[in-house]
Amino acid sequence: MASSPIKLKGYEFFQKTLKSPRFVVAPMVEQSELAWRLLSRRHNASLCYTPMFHARLFSEAQNTRYRKEQWTTNDEDRPVVVQFCANDPDILLAAAKLVEDDCDAVDLNLGCPQGIARKGHYGSFLQDEWELIEKMVKTLDTHLKVPVTVKIRVFPTVEKTVEYAKMIEAAGAQMLTVHGRLREQKGHITGLADWDKIKAVKDAVKIPVLANGNILYYDDIQRCIEHTGVDGVMSAEGNLYNPALFNPKYKDLPPLSWEIAKEYLEICKDVDARGQCIKAHLFKIFHASLPIHTDLRQELAKCHEWQNYWDFCMNMKERLIKDQEQGTELDGKENEKGIRQYSHWRCQVTCSCFFFFDFQTQLGSHFPRFDFFFLALHPPQQAANPQAGEEAQGRRCCQGRPAQETKGRRPRSALCGGRCIIFKTPQHIDTEKSKNKTTNCIIDKTEKKVRRGCGQKWLAF
User: Would you please indicate which residues are annotated as catalytic (active-site) residues?
Assistant: 112
Q: How remote is the C-alpha of 1 from its chain's centroid?
A: 46
DSSP 8-state code for residue 377: P
User: Which residue, among 183, 121, 119, 131, has the nearest Cα to 152 in the 3D structure?
Assistant: 183
Could you give phi then psi for residue 34, rounded to 5 degrees? -50, -50
Handedness of CA 117, 118, 120, 126 (dihedral sign): positive
Could you give phi then psi for residue 59, rounded to 5 degrees? -90, -15
Q: Which residues contact 367 (CB under 8 A, 6 or more apart)?
A: 184, 431, 453, 454, 455
Q: Which residues contact 110 (CB under 8 A, 6 or more apart)?
A: 123, 124, 126, 127, 133, 150, 151, 152, 153, 168
Could you give phi then psi for residue 454, rounded to 5 degrees? -75, 150
Q: Please check whether residue 81 is in contact with residue 176, taking contact to mean a CB–CB distance below 8 angstroms.
A: no
Q: Please check whether residue 174 is in contact with residue 148, taking contact to mean a CB–CB distance below 8 angstroms.
A: yes
Could you give phi then psi for residue 76, rounded to 5 degrees? -75, -15
Distance, CA of 72 to CA of 34 (rounded, Å): 6
Distance between first and last Cα of the chain: 72
Query: What's the full length of the chain, in residues?
Result: 461
Q: Which regions of 55-159 does DSSP assign to beta strands (E)?
A: 80-85, 105-110, 148-153
Q: Which residues of 14-37 are buried (b: 16+ CB within 10 A; e: fewer)?
A: beebbeebbbbbbbbbebbbbbbb
Q: Which residues contact 173 (CB under 8 A, 6 or more apart)?
A: 108, 137, 141, 148, 149, 150, 207
Distance, CA of 142 to CA of 135 (rounded, Å): 10
Q: Which amino acid is at 274?
A: R
My answer on whether omega of the bond before 208 falls inside 30° of 0, hence cis, is no
* Helix 34-42, helix 275-285: angle, nearest 10: 40
Q: Which residues contact 399 (CB under 8 A, 6 or more apart)?
A: 382, 384, 385, 388, 413, 415, 416
Q: Please check whether residue 208 is in contact with residue 11, taking contact to mean a CB–CB distance below 8 angstroms.
A: yes
Q: Please check whether residue 85 is in contact with residue 52, taking contact to mean a CB–CB distance below 8 angstroms.
A: yes
